[in-house]
Amino acid sequence: MKRDWLTQSALCLVMVISTAHAAVPGTASPATSPATAPAGSPKDMLLRSDKAIHEHGLEAASACYYAANDADARIAKVLAHGEVAEDAFESAVRDAFGKVASDRAVHAIGDKTTADLMTADEKIEGDRATILFKGDEDPMVLVRVGGEWKIGIAENRKVWIPSGDDEFIREQQACAVEFDKLAAEVKAGKFKSADAVCDEAGRRIDAAVQPPQ
């Protein structure tokens, strides 16, 4: 899955965990058996934050990040908008085709599911933590600010933004536009199967992150 934003800065940061408000595959429904992590841990923050994004949108998405300066704030802003857009797409797929299909769609666009988070390697050293997803070479870095874990923009720059801020922002904005379109099309019944959604979503996101001709 080398389209993943963690290694190629290709997609929106809702891709940290995009199905945290749904149950882990193979378990009961979210109402009876939600995915859990040790209280106060980085994984717990990601699970709680994604649920908040699903329910409260942009404000909750913005609260996930720590931006140390204006340049980092630009990145955090575009990522937060992308989170909201991808959450809408994922929710549309889940409503139309079910949770298994939405997890497949998440993977088709290079994202991570709750199950991926729960099997990731978490390491905490003081006020710094890393989460390394299986199959990835580079971990995501979180920092503890005011007692709360947040995704540090500066700490992840080297991996996320190899081509500079402007290109990264262009990619993220292009992805958000495609997620909005896909969500609307799924809701309108354009896609007759989960396979069709996954194929088209993967194609569009791949195209969105290509450099301008």
pLDDT digits (tens, 9 = 90+) for 57-68: 888 889 999 999
Average pLDDT, the chain: 84
Q: How confident is residue 163, by pLDDT bands cut at 50, 70 and 90? A: confident
Whether the pLDDT of residue 18 is over 90: the answer is no
Question: At residue 122, what are phi and psi to the nearest 5 degrees?
Answer: -110, 130
> What type of residue sits at position 155?
E
Q: How confident is residue 186, by pLDDT bands cut at 50, 70 and 90? A: very high
Helix (H) or strand (E) holding 152: strand 148-152
Within the chain, residue ranges assigned H as helices are 5-8, 42-56, 58-62, 70-97, 99-108, 114-118, 153-160, 165-187, 194-208
pLDDT attached to residue 199: 97
Assigned token pair, 154: 């500066």
How does DSSP classify residue 151?
A: E
Please indicate whether residue 200 or residue 4 has the higher confidence score (pLDDT): 200
Q: What are the boundaries of each domain within the chain? A: 8-66+77-118+165-205
Residues 125-138: tens digit of each pLDDT: 999 999 999 999 99
How does DSSP classify residue 127?
A: T
- Cβ neighbors of 151 (< 8 A, separation 6 or more) are 13, 16, 64, 65, 66, 140, 141, 142
Q: Flag whether the pTM goes above 0.95.
A: no
